[in-house]
A and B are shown apart, each in its own frame.
Chain A
Amino acid sequence: MHPVGGSAPLRVDIAEKTFSSAEGVSLTALQGLSFEVRQGEFACLLGPSGCGKTTTLRILLGLDKEFSGSFQLPEGGSNRIAAVFQEPVLLPWRTVEQNVRLALPRSERNADLGQLFDSLGLAGMLPLFPAELSLGLARRVALARAFATRPAMLFLDEPFVSLDEKTAERLRHLLLSVWSARPTTALMVTHNLREALMLSDRIVVLSPRPAHVQGVFDIRLPRQYRNTQVMSDLLRSFHEKFPDVD
C-alpha cells in the first residue's frame, strides 16, 4: 500500500475486482491495487499481458462499475476525462474532423483546432473517412480527439500496440509534443518497458494476476535527455529494482 497524498488528482484504491463466468467459475483480476498520479504527471501502468491493466483502466473510465474499492478523479475546473483506446474506435460514418469535434461539448464544437491537427499531421486528412486511413493515422485521430477536449485526465490503453516499431516510435514523439502543448495528467497502460521508460515521470509496476502494485519507479530526468545511453542506464536501474519484470 502506498501513501495517498492530498493533492494527487488521480488516486486509485481498488480492493478487489472479480469476474465470474456463467458456469460459476470466478477469477480475481485485481487485488489491493493502490497508486496515485500527481498533477501534470505522465504515468504508466506497466505489467505483463493479461494482468488486469485494461480492467483497471475500464474501472477508472467508469465503464466497469462492479468492483470493490474506490478511486478519485481530478475535481473542479474541467473535470473532463478523455481516453485513447487500444483500437482507435473512430465512428466509421463520420469524417476525421467530425470524429474529433463530436467529442467536444456542443458549445465548443467550432473551436479552432488547426494547431492540434497540424501538430499531428492531420491537416490534409480532415474530410476523409476512417476507412481511408492507415492504422497509424487512425491512432493519430484518436489522439487528436482526446487532446481536443483539453481533459483534466487522459487515459491511454496501449495506444501504440500492433504498429510497426518505426510508426510507434514516431507516434510516441507526436504524443509527447502534443502533450507539452496541451498539458494534462495522463495514465497510460502498457506492457512495453522501453515505451514506459521513454514517456513517463512515474511507472506503476503491476504484478501478474491478481494484479497489485509491485512498486513505483520515478524518473526525474526530463524526457529530452533520455538518449540511448540514458535509456540503458534507466533500464539497468529499473531491473535492479524490479528483477523479475522484463
Chain B
Amino acid sequence: MAAEEVGSHNSRAARTAVRRGLAPRLMPAITVAASLLGFCLLWALAAQAWPSRALPSPIQVWQVLVREAASGELPFHLSVTLARVAAAYVLAMVIGSVVGILLGIHRRADRFFNPWVILFLNIPALVIIVLAYIWFGLTEAAAVGAVAVNKIPNVVVTMREGARALEPRYQEMAAVYRFSTLDRIRHILLPQLQPYFAAASRSGIALIWKIVLVVELLGRSNGVGFQIHLNFQLFDVAAILAYTLAFVAIMLLIELLLVQPLERHASRWRQRPA
C-alpha cells in the first residue's frame, strides 16, 4: 500500500514544482510578442519600400484606429458585429449539438439524415446568405439565421463523432448505481462530449465571424462588414485594415481570456506528462 501511495504523491509534487517556475511560464508569451513585432517590422519595411495608398504603414493604420475609436464609430460597429457573432454562435452550437448527439446515438436516423448533412456542408455560405435575404428579407433574423445555418452542419458532424465515441461502460456503471437522468447528463454525457464541444466551438467562432462580415456586407447597414464595404468603395485600405485588426484582436482576446481558461478548467482532470 505504502509504495502505491508514495508513487502518486511524488507525481503530484513534481507537477506543482513545474507550475511554480515563472520563467517557463513567460516563455511562450515572449515568443508570441517577438513574433508579432517581427511581423509589424516586416510590414513597415514593405510599406516603406512600396509607398502606396493600397499599402499603408502600421503607423497609419494605428492612427485610423485611434481616430475611429475616439469618434465612437469603431466601438459601435465592433459591438454590433460581436452581438451577431454571439447570437449565431449560440444558435449554431445548441441546434448543432442536439442534432449531432441524436444522430450519433441513433444509427438509423443517422443513415437517413446523413445525406442532408453532407448537402448542407457543401452549400456555399454565400448561397445560404443570399437565399436567406431573398426569403426572409433584409432583416436581423435572416442575417443571424443564415450564419447559424452555415455553421450547424460542422457542429453536427463533430458532435456526432463525440456521441459515437461515448464509452458504454460508464453508462453501464450509471445504470447499476441508478444515476438520475440529470446526473447522467452532468457527470457521464457532458464530460465525454466536452472535447468535441470545445473543438466545434473553436472552429465555430473562427468560421462564424468571417461569415458574419459577409452577411453585413450584403445586407446590413452597420457592423464591421458594412464598414469594410464602405471603405472598399472609398478605397481606404488603412480603414479596412484598422477595422479588421481591431476585430481580430477582440476575437483573440475572447480566445485567450474565455475559451482557453474554460477549456483548461474542463480538462483539469487529464494527467499532464510529468
Contacts and interface: CB of A to CB of B under 8 A. Distances in A.
Interface of A: 61-63, 80-83, 85, 87, 89, 91-94, 102-103, 105-106, 121, 124-125, 128-134, 136-137, 145, 149, 167, 170
16 contacts: A82-B177, A83-B176, A85-B169, A89-B169, A93-B269, A94-B187, A102-B179, A103-B177, A105-B178, A106-B180, A129-B268, A130-B269, A131-B270, A131-B271, A134-B7, A167-B4
Contacts of B4: 134, 136-137, 167
B8 A137 contact: yes
Given A87-B169, A102-B187, 12 more contacts: A63-B175, A82-B176, A82-B177, A85-B173, A89-B170, A93-B191, A93-B194, A102-B179, A128-B8, A130-B269, A136-B4, A149-B177
A137 B9 CA distance: 12
Contacts, number: 74
Nearest to B266: A93
A125 B7 CA distance: 12
B183 interface: yes
B170 A125 contact: no
A87 B172 CA distance: 12
Contacts of A121: 1, 5
B210 interface: no
B37 to A, nearest CB: 39
Nearest to B267: A93
B47 interface: no
A174 B76 CA distance: 67
* Interface SS of A by simple majority: loop
Interface string B1-17: 10011011001100000
Nearest to B179: A102
B269 A170 contact: no
5 closest A-B pairs by beta carbon, nearest first, are A131-B271, A93-B191, A103-B177, A129-B269, A134-B4
B176 A81 contact: yes
Contacts of B170: 89, 91
B87 interface: no
A92 B269 contact: yes
A124 B2 CA distance: 12
Contact of B5 (A80, A137, A149): A137
A91 B169 contact: no
The interface centre, meaning the residue of B172, B178, B270 with most chain A CB atoms within 10 A of its CB, is B172
B251 interface: no
A163 to B, nearest CB: 10
A169 to B, nearest CB: 11
B121 interface: no
B188 interface: yes
Nearest to B12: A132
Nearest to A122: B5
A68 B155 CA distance: 43
A143 to B, nearest CB: 13
Contact of B11 (A83, A132, A137, A145): A132
A121 B4 CA distance: 11
Given A94-B269, A132-B271, A125 B180 contact: no
Contacts of B12: 128, 132
A146 B1 CA distance: 20
Q: Count chain A CB atoms within 10 A of each CB in B1, B170, B173, B187 and give the residue with the most.
A: B173
Contacts of B176: 61-63, 81-83
Given A91-B170, A93-B191, A170-B1, A133 B8 contact: yes
Given A92-B269, A106-B180, A170-B1, A134 B8 contact: yes
B234 to A, nearest CB: 53
Contact of B188 (A91, A103, A128, A137): A91
A103 B183 CA distance: 10
Contacts of A137: 4-5, 8
Contacts of A132: 8, 11-12, 271
Nearest to B190: A93
